[in-house]
Amino acid sequence: MKWEQRALADCASFFSGGTPNKGRPEYWGGAIPWVSSGEMTSQFIKDTTLQITEEGLSAGSRLMPEGTIFTVVRGMSLATEFRVSYATAPMAFNQDLKALVAKEGIDPYFLFSALRSQATSIRDLATEAAHGTKKLEMERFQSFQILVPDLDTQIQVAKAIRNYDDLIENNQRRIALLEESAHLLYREWFLNLRFPGHESYPSVGGVPEGWARKSISDMVQINPKVAFEKDRIYPFVPMQALSECSMLIEDTEERAISGGAKFQNQDTLLARITPCLENGKTGFVQFLEEDKPVASGSTEFIVMRSESVSPYWVYCTARDEGFRKHAIGSMVGSDGRQRVNLKCFDSYFAFQPPENVLNDFDEKVEPMFKEIQLLSRMNQRLREARDALLPKLMSGEIQV
């Protein structure tokens, strides 16, 4: 089995994308996924926030087939990372990306894995561009060398890596389904008031007996005090550790507690600054260990803790569209640095359920929350194992 150095230009064809005119509504809202650099945060691209029409495609972009490798070659993100993603469906893309299609004799997933294994070295090729951004010059990128074995070996290596990726992806799908199930139950019980036995509850003005209409600040503690030991190292949660679509809090750090938010397990973290709140950054704390039951985080977090409801109810409320619109509508400050006005929690009202209904809800969703955290830890171990194996497989040090 012989491995040889080959330039990327010998392994893949490079394609450029583009952005259809934003002022032409006939170009947007179609059925063709359109990838921008901001969405290049996942290793696999399935769908996109924006879609274009056939007219938009012909007017300014390019459709690439499934199995295309997208890379970010321009933008702020290149200062810290080289983003590369694998398309699992045909899609178009913008001008900040390059699309790579494997040439004959090159396995697409092997090429994708090779780029991932060399991400730091490729990022270091980027040069300064306008307005503090970075740019990856095509001549340097296409000349970058990777080790390539024969096609059969490529396929074997790619299969070994994909086994890890598929397990991680499957767990991520399970996490998304579990979270959506919890939110559906919350909306059905506490917004639509179709909780178990609702038919037999007497009601006054459409409100079930025993359900009290209260402000969020009457049911939830906002930024509660947390005791901690000075000069001790605790977990620290930066803003980027919060997900835009999930309760998971990942990629935490270790720091001595000073300023910023302080919290404990079963607290909800809500981003209070624009655009983080609008983008959905919200987390549920359940990763802390017994020996370190306290953590700190960004000064731009609002900590929400259950007082007369349940922690799971609090998190689901923080993710609810109506609540988020209310919080966003309260934001004050200069453009680009607006923050939630904490008085908004006094003016947002919800129904506090009776204790038996809350207990029933907790009994159903608590296992979902715990399984989400378990799957997250499993994925972390899988990533660590894959990332340790990847450079050894891609260099030929370890044979499949």
Tens digits of residue pLDDT in 268-277: 999 999 999 9
Which one of 314, 332, 350 terminates a domain? 350
Q: How far apart are CA 354 and CA 313, in angstroms?
A: 13
Check whether 397 has a pLDDT greater than 80.
yes
| Averaged confidence pLDDT in the chain | 93
Q: Are residues 61 and 162 in the same domain?
A: no
Question: What integer pLDDT is reported at residue 203 of this predicted model?
Answer: 84
Tens digits of residue pLDDT in 25-66: 999 999 999 999 888 888 899 888 899 999 999 998 999 999
How do strand 349-352 and strand 212-215 relate by DSSP bridges?
antiparallel
CB atoms within 10 A of CB 400: 12
Q: Are 157 and 116 spatial neighbours (Cβ–Cβ below 8 Å)?
A: no
Q: How far apart are CA 112 and CA 238, in angstroms?
A: 29
Please, which pLDDT band fits residue 1 given cuts at 50, 70 and 90?
A: low
Q: Are residues 336 and 227 in the same domain?
A: yes
Q: Are residues 190 and 234 in the same domain?
A: no
Question: What integer pLDDT is reported at residue 133 of this predicted model?
Answer: 85
Q: Are residues 168 and 140 in the same domain?
A: no
Please, which pLDDT band fits residue 76 given cuts at 50, 70 and 90?
A: confident
Check whether 17 has a pLDDT greater than 90.
yes
Question: What integer pLDDT is reported at residue 207 of this predicted model?
Answer: 85
The two structure tokens encoding residue 199: 């038919």
Please, which pLDDT band fits residue 144 given cuts at 50, 70 and 90?
A: very high
Q: In this prediction, what percent of the chain has a pLDDT beyond 90?
A: 81
Q: In this prediction, what percent of the chain has a pLDDT beyond 70?
A: 100
Q: Are 306 and 314 spatial neighbours (Cβ–Cβ below 8 Å)?
A: yes
Tens digits of residue pLDDT in 213-270: 999 999 999 999 998 888 889 999 999 999 989 999 998 999 988 888 999 999 999 9
Q: Are residues 296 and 365 in the same domain?
A: no
Average pLDDT over residues 186-203: 92
Q: Tell me which of 130 and 289 has the higher pLDDT.
A: 289
Average pLDDT over residues 93-100: 96
Which one of 333, 350, 367 terminates a domain? 350
Lowest mean pLDDT among 9-18, 275-284, 329-338: 329-338
Q: How many domains does the chain have?
A: 3
CA angle 255, 288, 253 (to 5 degrees): 30
Tens digits of residue pLDDT in 314-349: 999 999 999 999 999 999 997 678 999 999 999 999
* CATH number for the domain harbouring residue 82: 3.90.220.20
Q: Are residues 346 and 358 in the same domain?
A: no
Check whether 132 has a pLDDT greater than 80.
no
Question: What integer pLDDT is reported at residue 399 of this predicted model?
Answer: 81
Range of the domain at 395: 154-211+353-400
Q: Are residues 13 and 92 in the same domain?
A: yes
Please, which pLDDT band fits residue 131 given cuts at 50, 70 and 90?
A: confident
Q: Are residues 160 and 142 in the same domain?
A: no
Whose tokens are 């178990």? That residue is 196
| pTM given for the model | 0.86
